[in-house]
Structure 1
Amino acid sequence: MILVIFIGVLVALFLIGASIPWAIGLTSMIVMLIESGFNGNLFGTMVQKMVAGTNNFTLLAIPFFLLAAKLMNVGSITKKIFRLCNGLVGWIPGGLGHANIAASIIFAGMSGAAVADASGLGTIEVEAMANEGFDREFSAAVTAASSTVGPIIPPSINLVVFGVAGGVSISKLLIAGVIPGLLMGLTMMVMVYYFAIKRGYPRRKFPTLREFWELISDAFFPILTPVILIGGITIGIFTPTEAAAIAALYAFILTVIVYREITLKQFIVVIKETVRETCAIMIIVAASSLFGYLLIKTQIPNILLENLFVLTQNKYLILLLLNLFLLVIGCFMETNSAIMILTPIILPITTMLGIDPIQIGIIMILNLMIGLLTPPIGMCLYATARVARIKLETMIKAIIPWYIPLGVSLLIVTYVPIISLWLPSLIKL
């Protein structure tokens, strides 16, 4: 009965247009009223659980990563990265398409946010590809698809949220995303190569040694960012939260002091945007913390576990069902909300099956990233359609082939655990 109330009220509130924090919070309050009745401790318990969910040092990484990404988008750092990537892989058939993906991989090591990638790099990438003869729809589709690498390769805001929600080592989660992120990039490059041969897309000449040196020199300081972050976390010099602060400081030094591209007025605007987006995420975290507390209190995970094991106890079939479930959820729910709500439900089930929580974290984020390319939520679709100046309907049609490389990557990560677990197993964190 309580499971029906949990799901029914939440879905009903979503359908009538309630915002995600309100829907989660009201559902939690209704369940608490049914469970405990109206008493003087009701609202005190609600506030206590919500505040406890946000009172986590690790969550400080979120505003710092957001700030770093915004600073780099305002300056010329994204342009420098894109020019370097074009020099490195632009000579392969479909040159700028490969450069688009490579730039997203590098930028992923700075921002950890898919929409930031699609909005920041997207403007540069789509115009550059259109000017060299690529179809605008194809250019937009590559940009949107490659932006999903951002939350997989460290640093990743979504992996930080998963680690907090599931009590999983965030350092290991971040390191675990490196190989899956590179795998995603490789499969998408295969797709670019296929379209390039089929449609005769252009490529640039192989760069001379002098050209290569000039590109490296121009982008040297920006590309140090992922090296510093990933290297520092791997070696154990600093924690993920400290890494986020260092990323923001480094981005500030580059854009304000070294390149002198941001005025004080622009910096204040960036700070305001960062605060606004951080507040939105933290409100979701607070409401979801209360929701997660009630899930455990009412033993919903145990109920679902028992019902699932009645259907099947085959680990591989359960993983397939989990992927299908997460893909559907990703189409309708904001990523961080989905992580906070579903992690307390999913982790007990997968732990019983002997599946490492780190692998589940990567699987969950990858599924939800595909959701960013799928209507009706599809934030990366909207962002890329806007910067590419094409209709959303056109954008949706163009993105369909890109579900293939992302789906292949998802299946490999799901059924080949070593892909996400090898690096964390080598490093003592």
Structure 2
Amino acid sequence: MTLEFGLCLLALFFLAGIGAPIAYSILIASFVYLAAAGQNIGIAGKVLMDGLYQSFILLAVPLFIVAANIMNAGTISERLLKFCVAVVGRFRGGLGHVNIVASLIFSGMSGSAVADAAGIGKIIIGMMTRSGQYTRGYAAAITAASATIGPVIPPSIPMVLYALVSNTSIGFLFLGGIVPGLFMGAVLMGMNAFISARRGFALETPVPFSELPRHTANAFPALLMPAILLYGIYGGVTTPTEAAAVAAAYALLLAGLFYRALSVRALYRILVESARSSAAVGLVIGGALILNYVVASENIPNIMAQALVGLDVSPLVFLLVVNLLLLLLGCVLDATTIILVIIPLFLPTCRELGIDLVHFGVVAVINCMIGLITPPYGILLFVINAVTQIPLREIIAEIWAFLGVLIVALLVLVLVPDIVLWLPRMFGYPG
């Protein structure tokens, strides 16, 4: 490691340690490297513009954010929740199951765990606490845990970012996330059923089966969005970026014209909020592109790959160690930073060891999502605390059971790659 790169790391850790936003920390640390190495600072601008112009795929990020924010508006979320209550609310721990199934459905529209937790999560937490059966902490914890499914089932903003740094097909990544996302939902529902039986949660008043068609009809247009997205991408009708534009347009038509739940003023607020969220992600992407140039200049990924291959590390051991490292990093870093800055370091080693990049990407994204609910710095815990005012200590006290089963599910996905790769192979993936 050169002195210049050492100064870069020192600046990065110092700035992050004193609480500077991670995007600014990355940018300033990269400029420190360029200055110390005697390189023109204009290189940063060239790297940034080249990275953005060559990454048409990045347009999908703000479009998915807009679609998620529109779907959160008005009555769309409530219609979906009523449908979920009618389907699974009749079982013990019914509203907990509703919470998880709603996240599974909404994940096919938003691609964002934070959008999932802040939008539909706020509504279901209110329903759970008003019922008098669930503590505030339990309602918040299961909401945070189920929101981690959001970026696993397509569309997925983190998978778009992973495709950017790994050159992997977004279509196959999206396919690879479907079965693991359903698997995560199943283990969370299993844990909710176990806790509900153990604590003796009362049964909800079941919605009569005669009313199920009405609730289904009300929610059906919203339920169509995932199907439209998947058909567009895998039917060869649209690229993933174009599918994101279709999703945003469909959400707008649905909320504005079909459900009549979106005013011009509300749309303006949604667009402003979406622009802010996109800008925040864009800053991290810009900083990561420049930092990745620095890392490539130092040849660090190849040095790591050669060192690990020289140690004769098996692919499974490598995957387990990397996942443990990502779990630890997920406690202090957000998913965007991990995917754009940390994961590229391991990709050359994955190629050397013959690890499938779709499998690695899906597992890495799930890992990052688990990091969002890992105390003490899990971002989703803070998001739910902010939107509901439920104390963090109550949420953290209840999160451990759900965190445990998600880590077990992650381990199963690492050990059995076919769970991730089965669906992509069905659609012609050669891996």
Does 2:120 align with 1:118? no
Structure 2 counterparts to residues 92-111 of structure 1, below 5 A? 92-111=91-110
Partner of 1:43: 41
Moved more, 228-237 or 277-286: 228-237
Give, in angstroms, the shift of residue 307 of structure 1. Answer: 3.9
Q: Is the 8 A contact 2:229 2:247 kept in 1?
A: yes
Secondary structure of the structure 2 residue equivalent to 1:118: helix
Q: Is the 8 A contact 1:145 1:373 kept in 2?
A: yes
Q: Is the 8 A contact 1:96 1:203 kept in 2?
A: no
CA displacement 1:304-340 (0-9 Å, x = unmatched): 2344346551222211110111011111112112211
Q: Is the 8 A contact 1:58 1:160 kept in 2?
A: yes
Identity of aligned residues (%): 37
Equivalents in 2 of 1:126, 1:287: separation in Å? Answer: 36
Partner of 1:53: 51
Partner of 2:150: 150
Work out the number of aligned pairs and report it: 425
CA displacement 1:246-283 (0-9 Å, x = unmatched): 11111111111111111111111111111111111112
Superposition RMSD in Å: 1.6
Q: Is the 8 A contact 2:309 2:353 kept in 1?
A: no
Give, in angstroms, the shift of residue 17 of structure 1. Answer: 2.2
Q: Which amino acid aligns with 1:409?
A: A
Secondary structure of the structure 2 residue equivalent to 1:46: helix
TM-score, scaled to structure 2: 0.95
Structure 2 unpaired stretches of 5+: none
Partner of 2:280: 280
Q: Is the 8 A contact 2:69 2:270 kept in 1?
A: yes
Q: Which amino acid aligns with 2:407?
A: G
Q: Which amino acid aligns with 2:396?
A: I
Secondary structure of the structure 2 residue equivalent to 1:237: coil
Equivalents in 2 of 1:52, 1:67: separation in Å? Answer: 25
Give, in angstroms, the shift of residue 4 of structure 1. Answer: 4.1
Equivalents in 2 of 1:196, 1:375: separation in Å? Answer: 23
Q: Which amino acid aligns with 1:7?
A: L
Partner of 1:21: 23
Q: Which amino acid aligns with 2:74?
A: G
Q: Is the 8 A contact 1:104 1:117 kept in 2?
A: yes
TM-score, scaled to structure 1: 0.95
Give, in angstroms, the shift of residue 31 of structure 1. Answer: 2.3
CA displacement 1:341-378 (0-9 Å, x = unmatched): 12321111111111111111111111111111124442
Equivalents in 2 of 1:70, 1:165: separation in Å? Answer: 26
CA displacement 1:37-63 (0-9 Å, x = unmatched): 25xxx1221100011222221111111
Secondary structure of the structure 1 residue equivalent to 2:346: helix
Distance 1:67 1:165, change over 3 A: same
Does 2:259 align with 1:255? no
Equivalents in 2 of 1:393, 1:311: separation in Å? Answer: 43
Moved more, 397-406 or 383-392: 383-392
Q: Is the 8 A contact 1:72 1:251 kept in 2?
A: yes
Moved over 6 A (4+): none
Equivalents in 1 of 2:348, 2:406: separation in Å? Answer: 27
Equivalents in 1 of 2:396, 2:154: separation in Å? Answer: 28
Give, in angstroms, the shift of residue 298 of structure 1. Answer: 1.1
CA displacement 1:21-41 (0-9 Å, x = unmatched): 221122222223344x25xxx
Partner of 1:86: 85
Partner of 1:11: 13
Does 2:395 align with 1:391? no
Secondary structure of the structure 2 residue equivalent to 1:282: helix
Does 2:328 align with 1:345? no
Structure 2 counterparts to residues 21-420 of structure 1, below 5 A? 21-35=23-37, 37-38=38-39, 42-55=40-53, 56-132=55-131, 133-204=133-204, 207-309=207-309, 313-420=313-420
Q: Is the 8 A contact 1:64 1:245 kept in 2?
A: yes
Give, in angstroms, the shift of residue 190 of structure 1. Answer: 0.5
Give, in angstroms, the shift of residue 18 of structure 1. Answer: 2.3
